[in-house]
Structure formats: structure tokens, C-alpha cells
Amino acid sequence: MAAVTRISALCNRGVKPLFLSKSLLARTLVSSKKTRDPPVLLSAQIHTSPAHYAAGSKAASLHWTGERALSVALLGMIPVAYMYPGPAMDYSLAAALTLHSHWGLGQVLTDYVHGDTAIKASNAGLFALSAVTFAGLCYFNYHDVGICKAVAMLWSL
Amino acid sequence: MEVYIQVAVLWNRSLVQRSAAVSSGSRCCLVYRHAVAMGTNAKEEMQKFTDKNSRLARPLSPHITIYSWSVPMMMSITHRGTGVGLSAGVAVFAVSALVLPGDFASYLSLIQSLSLGPALICTAKFGLAFPVAFHSFNGIRHLMWDLGKGFRMPEVYRSGYAVIALSVLSAIALAAL
């Protein structure tokens, strides 16, 4: 399609039809502008994206959707945690917060870290951090007061 | 003269037919003979570009040092900054829970024993509440963009100011609790 528009762009560099009478000129204007030029044979290569791209992995697209779905879920959890504090919300928040952070920091790394080894190393570090964070939050939920109660206690200072 | 006009009309008519054939998408050799599918994907192209830059040791063009800052730009980096900051805070909290001795209540009574005063405590609460509020409200703004809404420049600015106002007000309200 891009190739077709390129032809018409070439054709629009109009050559004034000096030999046409006025009535015929009007008729030419009614028909397409492309008719005014002689056809130019393209000798340059045109690059197009593959017409029928082999169905690639949908992983990136699904990841994007997952990120948005998790964000919406986390937004919903905030008022629910306020209204119904308890172990169910504690563990849900721990999971949602950790995963949202993990994916968010992953995007930051993708933006700023370049080079194969650097990317691999930073992603491995991020994975370790997220794993430890989730473990710590679950430990806190189990052995201590839990996230919801902790926020309430902190705010009562 | 008449002969020339007639030839011109006939010639134009044939061009109309040919152009029509081309624009209807038929496999006219005039257009498709030289079309080639690209052999590389976007990631490979970017990698080639990055490698060429480091090979030639090209200096980076100034960008944030020269480009005039705008409210949307500042809000975007603040969204990222609050996100990274909150993630760091949660991580520090979680690691502390695993590593430090004593339970949460003991640390709260430690803070209480410092007798910091209500002004400082309120400020600290605002300092915690504002990043959460800003990141949440701007997050909603981002989700609206993901739905395809609110991309016109006046809308971007209006939603931006709304997020700032809501964040400040709700952080104040939370700090006052």
C-alpha cells in the first residue's frame, strides 16, 4: 500500500497539459490527478514489512494486558483493604504490590539498561529483589501484624 | 491540433485505467516488482544502531539539558520516580521484616519515644501519602490513555492538573487523619 501511495506522490508532480483545450482540461480535472503524468518506472528498491508475518509470540502483548489488569486490580484493592482488613487482603496486597513493582521496575530497566550482559544481570537482580520482597511481606503477614494492621498502627502515631 | 487533442484524451483515459488498476491493489508489475520484505526485525535494527554508535564512539546529543520542560514531561518522570521510590520503600520494609530483630510494634514505640512532635509526624505522613496518591491518580490517567482517551493536548494538560490537585488534596487529608 505504501508503494502505491509513493507512485501517486511521484505522479502528482504535475506536468501542465499545454495542448489540451479548455473543455478537455475540465474533464481531466474531474478524473484522478494521477492521470496527468507519464508513468515512471521505479528502479529503486521499496522495503515493505512482510505481508504475511509468521504468527509471532503474543507474549509481549499479553504481558502488556496483564500489567494493565493488575494495575486496575491494585487500585481496587486499596479501598477494599481499608474497609475489610485481614489476612486475605494482606496476602493479596503483598502479591499485587510485589508483582506491580516487579513489572514496573522491569520497564525502567528496559528503558535505561543496554547491552546483552547488562540486561541479563539487571533482570536477574530485579528477580532476586522481587522474590525477597515477596518473601519478606509474606513473613510479615504471617509472623507479625500484617500489612493492613501495620498501616493502621503507623497512621495512629 | 484536433489530432493531438484526441490522442491526449485517449492517452489520459488509458492512464486512468492503469492507475485505477494500481490503486485497486491488483498485482500490477509496475508497483510490486521491486518490493522486498525486510529481513530484520525492529530489535535487530536497534541493536545494529546501538553497536554502530558505540563502535564510532558517538557522543550523545543533548536532550533533557536543552529541551524546554513541560508539565506533562514533569508529571511523567514524577510518575516513574514515585513508582521507583515506592517500590524501594516496600522492598526495604520487606527486607527489614526478615532481617531486623523485634516486631513492628516495638519499632513504632521506638518512634513514639523520640517525641518528634505532631508537625514532624504530619509532615512525614504527607511524605508517605503524596507519592502513593500521585502514583495512583496518575496511574488512572495512564489507564485512560491505554483506553485511547484523552490524548488531545488540552485534555492532557487538564487531566494533569486534575491529578496534581487531587494528589495534593488527598495527601493533606490523609496526613490529617
> Under an 8 A CB cutoff, do A133 and B90 touch?
yes
The reply to whether A144 falls in a domain is: yes
Residue A108 pLDDT greater than 60, yes or no:
yes
Residues B84 and B155 in one domain: yes
Per the annotation, binding residues of A for heme b are 100
Write down the pLDDT at residue B112. 92
The reply to whether A100 falls in a domain is: yes
* 115-144 in chain A: CB under 8 A from chain B: 129, 132-137, 139-140, 143-144
Q: For residues B69 and B124, is the Cβ–Cβ distance under 8 A?
A: no
Write down the pLDDT at residue A35. 57
Show the domain range for A141: 59-155
Q: Which of B8, B20, B111 is nearest residue A19 as measured by Cβ atoms?
A: B8
Write down the pLDDT at residue A8. 47
The reply to whether A125 falls in a domain is: yes
DSSP, residue by residue, chain B: -HHHHHHHHHHHHHHHHHHHHHHTT---HHHHTTEEE-SS-HHHHHHHHHHHHHHTTPPPPP-TTTSPP-HHHHHHHHHHHHHHHHHHHHHHHHHHHHHSSS-HHHHHHHHHHT---HHHHHHHHHHHHHHHHHHHHHHHHHHHHHTT---SHHHHHHHHHHHHHHHHHHHHHHHH-
Q: What is the mean pLDDT of residues A145-156?
A: 96
Residues B43 and B119 in one domain: no
What is the count of structural domains for chain B?
2
Could you give the ipTM of this predicted complex?
0.74
> Under an 8 A CB cutoff, do A145 and B104 touch?
yes
Write down the pLDDT at residue A72. 98
Task: Measure the CA–CA gap between A31 and B9, rounded to whole angstroms.
Answer: 11
Residues B60 and B110 in one domain: no
Q: For residues B71 and B160, is the Cβ–Cβ distance under 8 A?
A: yes
Lowest mean pLDDT among A65-69, A79-83, B18-22, B96-100: B18-22
What CATH number should be reported for the domain holding residue A145? 1.20.1300.10
Write down the pLDDT at residue B21. 46
Q: Which of the listed residues B14, B47, B65 is the one where a domain comes to its end? A: B65
Task: Measure the CA–CA gap between B84 and B65, rounded to whole angstroms.
Answer: 22
Burial class (CB in 10 A: 0-12, 13-18, 19+), A99: middle
Give the residue from chain B lying closest to A130, CA to CA. B91
Please state, for a pLDDT cut of 90, what percent of chain A lies above it. Answer: 61
The reply to whether A28 falls in a domain is: no
The reply to whether A124 falls in a domain is: yes
What CATH number should be reported for the domain holding residue B165? 1.20.1300.10
Banded model confidence at residue A105, pLDDT cuts 50, 70, 90: very high
Q: For residues A98 and A115, is the Cβ–Cβ distance under 8 A?
A: no
Show the domain range for B108: 71-176
Write down the pLDDT at residue B79. 98
Please state, for a pLDDT cut of 70, what percent of chain A lies above it. Answer: 65
Q: Which of B38, B98, B121 is nearest residue A50 as measured by Cβ atoms?
A: B38
> Under an 8 A CB cutoff, do A135 and B5 touch?
no
Write down the pLDDT at residue B1. 52
Cell (9 digits) for B152: 488531545
Banded model confidence at residue A106, pLDDT cuts 50, 70, 90: very high
More confident position, B32 or A61 = A61
Residues B59 and B76 in one domain: no
Task: Measure the CA–CA gap between B25 and B32, rounded to whole angstroms.
Answer: 10
Banded model confidence at residue A151, pLDDT cuts 50, 70, 90: very high
Residues B111 and B36 in one domain: no
Return the closest-CA partner of residue A153 out of B65, B5, B104, B168. B104
Residues B169 and B113 in one domain: yes
Residues B93 and B57 in one domain: no
Residues B145 and B118 in one domain: yes
Residues B92 and B149 in one domain: yes
Predicted model pTM = 0.72
Write down the pLDDT at residue B67. 92
User: Which among B47, B55, B104, B106 is the top mutation candidate for probing chain A, defined by the most A β-carbons within 10 Å of its own β-carbon?
Assistant: B104
Question: What are the Cα distances from residue B95, in Å, to A135, B54, B64, B101?
Answer: 9, 38, 35, 12
Residue A101 pLDDT greater than 50, yes or no:
yes
In angstroms, what separates the C-alpha of A34 from chain B's closest C-alpha?
7
Question: Residue A136 CB: number of other CB atoms within 10 A?
Answer: 22
Residues B150 and B82 in one domain: yes
- Mean pLDDT per block of 10 residues along chain B (177 residues) reads 53 52 48 71 86 91 92 97 98 96 94 91 96 98 97 97 98 95
User: Which among B19, B58, B84, B142 is the top mutation candidate for probing chain A, defined by the most A β-carbons within 10 Å of its own β-carbon?
Assistant: B19
User: Which among B77, B90, B100 is the top mutation candidate for probing chain A, defined by the most A β-carbons within 10 Å of its own β-carbon?
Assistant: B90
What is the count of structural domains for chain A?
1
The rounded radius of gyration (Å) of the Cα atoms in chain A is 31
SS (H, E, C) chain A: CHHHHHHHHHHCCCCCCCCCCHHHHHHHHHCCHHHHCCCCCCCCCEEECCCCCCCCCCHHHHHHHHHHHHHHHHHHHHHHHHHCCCHHHHHHHHHHHHHHHHHHHHHHHHHHCCCHHHHHHHHHHHHHHHHHHHHHHHHHHHHCCCHHHHHHHHHCC
Find residue B37's DSSP bridge partners: A48
